Chain A
Amino acid sequence: MNWTLLVDHLPVLPEAILLVGACVLLIADLLVQDGRRRVSTWIAQAVLALCAAATLFVLWGSGGGKLYLFNGLFVADAMAHLLKLACYAAVSATLVYSRQYLFARGLLRGEFITLMLFSLLGMMVMVSANSFLTLYLGLELMSLCLYALVALDRDSPLATEAAMKYFVLGALSSGLLLYGMSMIYGGTGSLMITDVAKQVARVYASPADRSILVFGLVFVLAGIAFKLGVVPFHMWLPDVYQGAPTPVTLFIAAGPKLAAFGMAVRLLVNALPTMAEDWQRMLVLLALLSMALGNITAIAQSNLKRMLAYSAIAHMGFMLLGLLSGWVEGNWNSRNEAYSAALFYVLVYSIMSVGAFGMLLYLSRAGVECENLEDVKGLNRRSPWYAFMLLLFMFSLAGVPPTAGFYAKFAVISAAVSAGYIWLAVAAVVLSLVGAYYYLRVVKLMYFDEPAETGPIVGHPEMRVLLSANGLSLLAIGILPQPLMSLCFAAMSLL
């Protein structure tokens, strides 16, 4: 056995563990009876814990430095580790939150768990990609699992329709992305992201070769925008959020967003920094449109899942504010500040959205779907503590201090102001006021209205504890945002 070879490949240990774990689960699940599916979730949780330990081990072993593997196809750096850890947490929370809901509906099947793990593997490959090909492979692995997950409840017409829509549009966007990548490949002659960056810097100087790169960039950006779900590539998002079973929506709302952020950083910041002026200008438009359309349309929604979908669109628009502020008038001085703000935003957003959808799962029980605004009416009467948790999620999504959501908005708006986009910052705060209205409406229903139903709210203890921890973590980050902020800063400065 060649030990050095093994040691050299240690940075892919988390991916290896996950792959093996998912395969083991695939087989082990065959032996588990339907009623005892809880065992499978515990296996999955154990695999995730091992992955987290492995990631921390790799991070510790590398000292935060960058490691290239497989002839440079794969990179393990601090940002990738951080995003991976966040993804594990999101998947783990999804498992806890969704068990009861799926069990009550007879949907707690092995496929759900294994598909989620494979999708997670795709995300991990995406955020660690150092080549267009690796990135595309990760993206497809993630997306294909997601399409299947959306159709998990195959007897529901809404879910199957959503899955179809997601699949067709997702395939289209993958095509766009691939087309854009091939253009850039044509212009630079390389698929390696680090190579591409060097070649672009050279090629970009001549106007004739520049046009092909810009052309490619447009398509790449369209692909990224689709995966992030920002306007005008957001059409799939409300339907999928509403149509998919709530646990799947919860899953889609967190992990894939983190992965898409990783992809955006790899493609834009790592591969095409020379073209920052071009893509920043495009992102300005996407950010503005997303914040406007997301926040304004969300007001008209009476379905909570759909409302959160539009809110997701708006939030990704806010996140882009950070991503578009790195390069200012020819210098990269505020690069780390801006990108770490975007990373902080996407991390905080995933905590908030996991919690908000977790609340919906907690309030749903056999035969009762909590998905309309009316369903949270008078929650304060039924359960003051969980009403308070939902209040924290809503105020955090709205960006009211002292919750974490405020610092997320604060950081990205601060980045935009330092980059000189003051008009955009003003637009962002005005639109976040529009957003405050519909979050406030949820709080209003919970606290000011009488409950429509008085049935008890049941949930297993792990779920209650996790939900409370999830809500309080927003308050904790809101009161002491420094640790997470400096973590993001460190990760992005080692990029």
Chain B
Amino acid sequence: MLLSLAIWIPIAAGLLVLACGDARKAVRWIALAGALLGFLVTIPLYTQFQLGNPGIQFEQLVPWIERFNINYHLGVDGISVLFVLLNSFITILVVIAGWSVIETRVAQYYAAFLVLSGLLNGVFAALDAMLFYVFFEATLIPMFLIIGIWGGPNRVYAAVKFFLYTLFGSLLMLVAMLYLYDKSGGSFAIFDWHKLPLALGVQVWLFFGFLFAFAVKVPMWPVHTWLPDAHTEAPTGGSVVLAAILLKLGAYGLVRFSLPILPDAARHLAWLMIALSLVAIAYIGLVTLVQTDMKKLIAYSSVSHMGFVTLGFFIFNSYGIEGGLAQMISHGFVSAAMFLCVGVMYDRMHSRAISDYGGVVNSMPKFAAFMMLFAMANAGLPGTSGFVGEFLVIMGAMKTSFWLALIAASTLVLGAAYTLWMVKRVIFGPVANKNVAALKDLNSREFLVLGLLAAAVLGMGVMPQPLTEVMHGAVNELLRHVAQSKL
């Protein structure tokens, strides 16, 4: 029931906002109330979560389409509960961040974000493959509109590219799901599929079917090219949701579908996945270095960070998987914060080019402190959330092979290089021009948003325990599935 509320409260609030139409003030407050309420109902998911139970909790099962044996089946385990919480939390920040920035079609803007938030909770909570698919696909519509309506100059190209790329991936997944439905004797329950025996050849085909959908979302090299475009053109709120939540759908899909349903193919193709991940980490890390646009830089650094996640998943030990998941959560906070920081500057200067800035610390000291903190977290400094995931994944990789760990660890150098170099050029140094000198520091609304994120980043960095203990049971369960051959 709680999960249903987490899905439908934001969507209902979104519709209500649309109905309010032109009354901007009312729209903003209703949106905020909806987002807060949506977050409040997810808190019991954490406080009442039974740590010892590796299975599904807060389950809800209602028959939906009996003709195809599709159920409205919700539930969370230690992995998905974290993403529901993250999503509901980020939604609040997005609503506040857009408060005075969005001037055109305010109601539609907030409605799109609230509906998107509800749908995303649906993706993470769905235990029926078709329900998952419907939520997964439905997220495309609001995101498409968000990029296309409120985005930058090249928004139409980015929006269409985003839509078609992701649709292509998910359509192939649909065929894979229908095949599994047929093979399992007419069931769309994900947990039935976990037990379904499949030949290796079939598993490999299905693995690629799912991989197309998830790799595009993650995004993995070489299907990442939509991301820099989408991120650069999206409005700040759009970039935040895209980086913090939408990218997690792909990696979450790998954990929920590819690994447990197709364990043999996953092990058979682990070399490929690891290779792609390493390319993302090292090569995209280098690409990130030379970016001149701040949003593009953060977008590429997201690809590189997500490479860490997929690497962690495909080394098949608990360090790797827990590290990957921790990295996902941390990236949710850090990338959101980075995009919000760029948004703060963009709102004032209407430029994302690094070369237009310099010496921002002189006019915006508070902002500079926040930006520095998030940059450190992005680089994986110990004590911040970014460190936890990267450390665990490198530990896991070390268990597999020293060379693997070495290449993976290159991210610590590269990440520090591109992030800190950007910070140096933007924040420090002499004041670049008159516009920079005239910048106003954070207002209280911006301070609140960045402050909340800073607390999350530091809290998770210093005390990762509350996070890892939740996922522990579910990760062990997952590893047990992966270790079992289904041939």
Contact = CB atoms under 8 A, between A and B. Distances in A.
A437 B168 CA distance: 11
B138 A402 contact: yes
A223 to B, nearest CB: 32
B167 A436 contact: yes
Contact of B175 (A395, A401, A407, A413): A413
Contacts of B141: 395, 400
Interface in B208-243: none
Contact of B164 (A401, A417, A437): A437
Contact of A433 (B105, B145, B159, B168): B168
A414 B145 contact: no
A62 interface: no
Contact of A447 (B137, B149, B164, B179): B149
Contacts of B160: 437, 440-441, 444
B182 A448 contact: no
B148 A447 contact: yes
Contacts of B178: 410, 413-414, 417-418, 425
Please classify the interface of chain B as helix (H, G, I), strand (E, B), loop, or mixed, using the class held by over half of its residues.
helix
A234 B185 CA distance: 38
Contact of B172 (A401, A426, A489): A426
Interface in A456-495: 480-482, 485-486, 489
Contacts of B138: 400-402
Interface stretch (B63-71, B282-290, B369-377): B63-71
A485 B155 CA distance: 39
* Interface range for A: 35 or more
A417 B66 contact: no
Interface in B287-319: none
B137 A400 contact: yes
A430 B159 contact: no
A430 B66 contact: no
A10 interface: no
Contacts of B175: 413, 417, 422, 425-426, 429
Given A433-B167, A482-B67, A486-B66, A447 B145 contact: yes
A486 B182 CA distance: 19
B91 interface: no
A69 B175 CA distance: 44
Please classify the interface of chain A as helix (H, G, I), strand (E, B), loop, or mixed, using the class held by over half of its residues.
helix
Contacts of B163: 436, 440
Interface in A368-397: 380, 384, 395
Contacts of B108: 384
Interface string A237-249: 0000000000000
Interface string A405-435: 0110011011001100010011001101100
A413 B164 contact: no
A37 B68 CA distance: 47
B412 interface: no
A406 B167 CA distance: 12
Interface string B62-88: 001111100000000000000000000
Given A406-B134, A425-B178, A433-B167, A448 B159 contact: yes
Contacts of A411: 68
B174 A413 contact: yes
Contact of B181 (A401, A414, A443, A486): A414
B156 interface: yes
Contacts of A425: 175, 178
A152 B454 CA distance: 70
A402 B139 CA distance: 10
B191 interface: no
Contact of A448 (B65, B140, B155, B171): B155
Interface in A54-88: none
Contacts of A406: 134, 137
Interface string A208-219: 000000000000
30 contacts: A395-B141, A400-B141, A406-B137, A410-B130, A410-B174, A413-B175, A414-B181, A417-B175, A417-B178, A417-B179, A418-B178, A422-B175, A422-B179, A425-B175, A426-B172, A429-B171, A429-B175, A432-B171, A433-B171, A440-B163, A440-B164, A447-B145, A480-B64, A481-B67, A482-B64, A482-B65, A482-B66, A482-B67, A485-B65, A485-B68
4 smallest CB-CB distances across A and B, nearest first, come from: A429-B171, A401-B134, A417-B178, A485-B67
Interface of B: 64-68, 105, 108, 130, 133-134, 137-138, 140-141, 144-145, 148-149, 155-156, 159-160, 163-164, 167-168, 171-172, 174-175, 178-179, 181-182
Given A401-B137, A436-B163, 5 more contacts: A406-B134, A407-B65, A411-B68, A448-B156, A485-B68
Interface of A: 380, 384, 395, 400-402, 406-407, 410-411, 413-414, 417-418, 422, 425-426, 429-430, 432-433, 436-437, 440-441, 443-444, 447-448, 480-482, 485-486, 489
